Chain A
Amino acid sequence: MSEATQSSAAVNVAPVRFSPRRVWTLAYATMTQLMRMKILPFLLLFCVLVAAMGFGFSTINPEQQLSQFKTMSLGVLQVFSIVFGIVATALLLPKDLDDRTLYTILSKPVPRFDYLLGKLLGVLMLIASGLVIIDAVLSLILWLQQSMLFDAAVSQLHSEKQDTPEAVAQMREIVARQGLTWNLHWAVWAIFLKAAVVTTVALLLSCIASSTLFTIVIAFCITIIGHGHAMIREFVLQPNLSSASVRIASFLLAAICPDLAQFDVVDSVANGEVIPWTAVYEMTGIAALYMTVYLFVTHLVFVEKEL
């Protein structure tokens, strides 16, 4: 036994397998670590801001008011979640490296992939829980506003002596379409997906450079470029492009950056359009695909990384 072990390079030992429990341990530690960074007050601030916004608009007409409220709050929410995803991820890895916590973690039988996935999940779980809370707050505000606006509209119809049953029913339908529907939750889900993709990109960057500033700056650039993905593609495909190098450069850019416009549903939600199920599935699938690819590349980089 011992001779065989020493002479042959390939030793037969059971490899350490991927363990969901271990990933959960790491993710949970990451989440609590981030919570300690005083994030809750920001969340509260956001809720208060949104609530103030919701009731602060002058009444133009109920439809517009609801629509405006959704556009504004969802827009702010999107920015918040992306900023949080990027900054949190950019802080985590360099911190573990500087503190040498990474030494003690990776000198346990912990595959590096488990560590990466744990970090990513920790950040995503925190974003998700924040979004769930905010989704609930938004739903409540929207629902309150909806009934308030409906009552106001009905009393106005009444004073104008036009409150026929048909008119009231029509008003109810208009308000309901702009009020609280599943669309709101889908929009929040889309916001989460976009933030998740951007967070994965930030993780990759942070593995390449292990510098917080670099990660933040480049991740924001990629986020911005990602929103103009369609433009780059058009540019690449136009037949009379002056130079090949420009074409190759933009092609690479398009290949590296995720197409974030795929997740822009806020406008249609604000317009009261119904988001079909298939669109939700498609969005989720695209996000999962992006994340898998980025995480795979991140793993390739991280496995070879010198700590």
Chain B
Amino acid sequence: MSDTPAVSVNHLTKVFKGSLGKGAFRAVHDVSLTVKPGEVYGLIGPNGSGKSTTMKVILGLLNATEGDTRIFGIPSTEVASRRSVGFLPENPYFYKHLNGRETLHFYGKLCGMTGDHLKSRAEEMLALTGLEDAATRRVGGFSKGMLQRLGLAQALIHEPQLLVLDEPTAGVDPSGSRIIRDLIIEFRSRGITVLVTSHLLEQMQEVCDRVGIMAHGRMVREGRLDELIAVENQTEMVLENASPDLLAKINALVKAEGGGTRLLRSGHPRTTLERLFLEATNEPKKP
């Protein structure tokens, strides 16, 4: 059982048909990925690279043009595959006439939850996402970050085994996004699988076990995060308060060493995932 991938995407291609057969657009091109149970998988890529589209196919909201996707071994085309999944779409929105608590009750009931169990779970989720104060306020008046938190709360309401989060920190303030990051780490410790996209690479680097980088609808890099960002034949030195003099000396030393040793660059260090991201996604577009 534990060998069954939490999510498997097999040679997925998604073409959006334009109106009247014109302007068909290939948003996802032959993408394969596997998320093992219990790991945090980060999907990153520039805007429009097909991350959200891939997620929607995984959740059965869109049909795959080619290839297939499965959740815990069950094809996404079957409703049963969504029994144990919590999904937070990008820019989530809810019935604006309900308040925060009623919204959670609504989604809990859709998952077949009832009575006291549902009530206590809803309160728990409100507390977890810091929405206690907004529990009796209409969703119509929620701010962007509050909607995002409510989206996370509804995704968690039925204690899913897999979480699919599309930019969970978009629009959330720094402390809120830190809380979400910590939550993801806690989910992993409880054995919950997470598939997440985000443009905050620093945070992704902190939480992800594995990442896939998408560009132009294709998967351009995939693997364990630590392996991907380790560059075996390069060494990075981070100095504090180094004087220009010292830097010049180091430079001279490197030059004197000769052979294969070269100083590639110096300057302020960047997040390594960020560097990888820019490298991978700026490669020339394949036909």
Tell me whether B11 is interfacial, beta carbon within 8 Å.
no
Tell me whether B110 is interfacial, beta carbon within 8 Å.
yes
A2 to B111, CA, bound (A): 26
- Would A103 and B80 count as touching, CB distance under 8 A? no
Tell me whether A29 is interfacial, beta carbon within 8 Å.
yes
Chain A 8-39 interface 0/1 with B at a Cβ cutoff of 8 Å (1 = within): 01010111100101100110010011001000
Chain A 34-46 interface 0/1 with B at a Cβ cutoff of 8 Å (1 = within): 0010000000000
| Of the residues B63, B74, B89, contact of A304 by C-beta under 8 Å | B63
- Would A103 and B107 count as touching, CB distance under 8 A? no
A256 to B258, CA, bound (A): 84
Instruction: Spot the interface stretch: B41-49, B92-100, B178-186, B267-275.
Output: B92-100
Tell me whether A160 is interfacial, beta carbon within 8 Å.
no
- Would B73 and A6 count as touching, CB distance under 8 A? yes
Tell me whether A306 is interfacial, beta carbon within 8 Å.
yes
Contacts of B98 in A (CB 8 A): 29, 32
| Of the residues A2, A16, A107, A111, contact of B59 by C-beta under 8 Å | A107
- Secondary structure of the B side of the interface? loop
Contacts of A29 in B (CB 8 A): 95, 98, 106
Report how many A-B pairs have Cβ atoms within 8 Å. Answer: 106
Q: How far is the CB of A302 from chain B (nearest CB, A)?
A: 12
For window 120-137 of chain B, which residues contact chain A by CB distance below 8 Å?
Answer: none
A6 to B10, CA, bound (A): 12
Contacts of B80 in A (CB 8 A): 13-16, 109
Contacts of B74 in A (CB 8 A): 11, 13
For window 144-182 of chain B, which residues contact chain A by CB distance below 8 Å?
Answer: 151, 154-155, 158, 164
Q: Say whether, besides A25-B106, A109-B82, A306-B62, A104 and B1 are in contact (CB < 8 Å).
A: no
Beyond A6-B73, A36-B97, A100-B91, list 8 extra A-B contacts (CB 8 Å). Answer: A5-B4, A6-B3, A11-B74, A16-B80, A101-B95, A104-B151, A107-B59, A306-B62
- Please, could you name 21 A-B residue pairs with CB atoms under 8 Å apart, sorted by A? A2-B1, A5-B73, A6-B73, A9-B75, A13-B74, A14-B80, A16-B82, A29-B98, A32-B98, A99-B93, A100-B91, A101-B94, A104-B89, A105-B107, A106-B60, A107-B87, A108-B158, A109-B82, A109-B112, A112-B79, A306-B61
Binding site for A on B (CB under 8 A): 1-4, 56, 59-63, 73-75, 78-80, 82-83, 85, 87, 89, 91-95, 97-98, 106-107, 109-112, 114, 151, 154-155, 158, 164
